[in-house]
Homo-oligomer: A and B are copies of this chain.
Amino acid sequence: MPDTTAPAALDPVLDHIDATLPEALDRLMALLRIPSISTDPAYAPDCARAADWLVAELRALGAEAAAHPTPGHPMVVGHLPGRGPRVLFYGHYDVQPVDPLDLWHRPPFEPEVQDTTAGRVIRGRGACDDKGQLMTFLTACRAWKAVNGPLPMEVVFFFEGEEESGSPSLIPFLEAHREMLGAELALICDTGLFDDRAPAIITSLRGLAGIEVTLTGADRDLHSGGFGGPAANPIRVLSKVLAGLHDDTGRVTLPGFYAGVPEVTADQLASWDALGFDAEGFLRSVGLSRPAGEDGRRVLEMLWSRPTCEINGITGGYTGAGFKTVLPSQASAKISFRLVGDQDPDAILAALRAYVEASVPEDVDVTFEDFGAAPASVMNTAHPAFAAARAALSDEWGMDAAFTGAGGSIPVAGYFQSILGMDSMLIGFGKTDDGIHSPNEKYDVESFRKGARSWARIFDRLRG
């Protein structure tokens, strides 16, 4: 029974985390076994099961908790009283689809702790993104509670089940529950170690907007002998359209695209240079050698502070084995934009639509399907929690923690700002080779253990 009259102690909490690691891994693996794929309606019952599992886990911590129904998957909300600042901890219990399944070495929802040459890992879909990361925080709470009793802050727990599928229920839920969810600061564990080795607090995120473009020429597939020449080929039209999106220096050509994009200061570039990022190694690790993108920009600068226009998928005509001399009726491409600064995602999607419509012959039809739009976010690092967290992370990892940017987008951080007026502190322990969104996802056991210990240290410093 913890002695709640004595000052709360940090070291016993750290020891407790280390000593009870096997049980914590078991709990994580129970959550990993639930195939909570949000984008596929066939797994909706499993998403509900994962929500219920977290409700039970929160209640075991002493929190009031419930799974709130939505038009989509449930939102898990919990509340744990405590003396100190009121913070919200966010995570998501849904996971990415698993295709291509034949590239997994073991079933994605049969998690396992494995020995590798680089140490022990937890293997399974969601091991990193986001279940493993989410559980570092709950593990720290459980350990603090076991040793010290009440946490040194009041915690609102908020777990959604649609992050991998565009979060359609999120904005209405935030708007309807401002009081229940509002806090001084949000803590989010869904990012990675800087350069796979150094603790980092992410203070800016790129935004994201997506759209699918479908071009239709003839009303049926045509024989390329009988029609080749005078008949418009949607694949050729689409290639020209896509090729025209970037100039020869790698800049996006859409009118107004760079409105709201801040030019990074020399000081900021210098501080990023000082991080010692191994750009060649970063590219080499995935079989590349030459930085693509905008001429004259550093790799880190591009990832953290420059917007992109990318093509995530393209299809048209005959794509099977062998050859078919067809002029296809249709071709389509999925395009997404990573956004920075004050870029307006809706304006950019409108510019894309206008550009495509102006670029195609009059007898080629164009249809669009939007897939979400969220602006970039930049955090206000003046809140004392940021300094506290930086010191705590430096203690745990034995090196200075950095404030960094991020290439990815976590739209919820933007919505916390715009709807709840709340900044987010993004701290995570993932690694580049975790393979999130890919087959054979894993999470290092050391990331899990040191992650939980990092949160415990942050709790200690938040105590003031």
Evaluate contact between A290 and B432: CB separation under 8 angstroms. no
Of the stretches A17-25, A220-228, A256-264, the one at the interface is A220-228
Q: Is A3 an interface residue (CB 8 A)?
A: no
In the complex, per-residue mask of A233-272: 1 if CB is within 8 Å of any chain B CB, else 0: 1011011101110100000000000000000000000000
Which of A221, A287, A323, A436 is most buried by chain B, counting CB atoms within 10 A of its CB? A323
**Are B334 and A323 touching (Cβ within 8 A)?**
yes
Q: Are B302 and A313 in contact (CB under 8 A)?
A: no
What 0/1 readout, one digit per residue, does chain A (122-139) give for beta carbons within 8 Å of chain B? 000000000000000000
The segment from A27-35, A72-80, A291-299, A394-402 found at the interface with B is: A291-299
Tell yes or no: A320 within 8 A of B by CB: yes
> Residues of B contacting A4 with CB < 8 Å?
none
Q: Please give the distance in Å from A352's CB to the nearest CB on chain B.
A: 15
A46 to chain B, nearest CB (A): 16
The reply to whether the CB of A36 lies closer than 8 angstroms to some CB of chain B is no
The listed residue (B39, B323, B331, B333) touching A372 by CB distance below 8 A is B323
The docked-state distance in angstroms from the alpha carbon of A457 to that of B319 is 44
CB of A223 within 8 A of CB of B290, answer no
Point out the residue from B206, B228, B240 that lies within 8 Å of A338, measured CB to CB.
B228
Cβ contact within 8 Å between A223 and B40:
no
Residue total for A at the interface (Cβ-Cβ under 8 A):
94
A325 to B322, CA, bound (A): 29
Residues A158-200 near B (CB distance < 8 A): 165-166, 192
Segment among A59-67, A81-89, A147-155, A304-312 that sits at the interface with chain B: A304-312
In the complex, what distance in Å separates the CA atom of A436 from the CA atom of B218? 15
Query: Could you say which of A47-55, A112-120, A343-351, A406-414 contacts chain B?
Result: A406-414
Supposing A286-B218, A316-B313, A334-B317 touch, asked if A323 and B230 sit within 8 A by C-beta, the answer is no
A-B contact pairs, 27 of them (CB 8 A): A39-B321, A99-B318, A99-B320, A212-B323, A218-B286, A220-B286, A223-B438, A224-B312, A225-B338, A225-B408, A226-B432, A227-B303, A229-B299, A230-B299, A232-B290, A233-B292, A235-B314, A235-B333, A283-B363, A290-B362, A311-B316, A311-B317, A313-B328, A314-B316, A314-B317, A323-B336, A323-B372
Inter-chain pairs besides A224-B338, A312-B326, 5 sampled, C-beta below 8 Å:
A39-B321, A212-B323, A221-B438, A226-B303, A323-B334
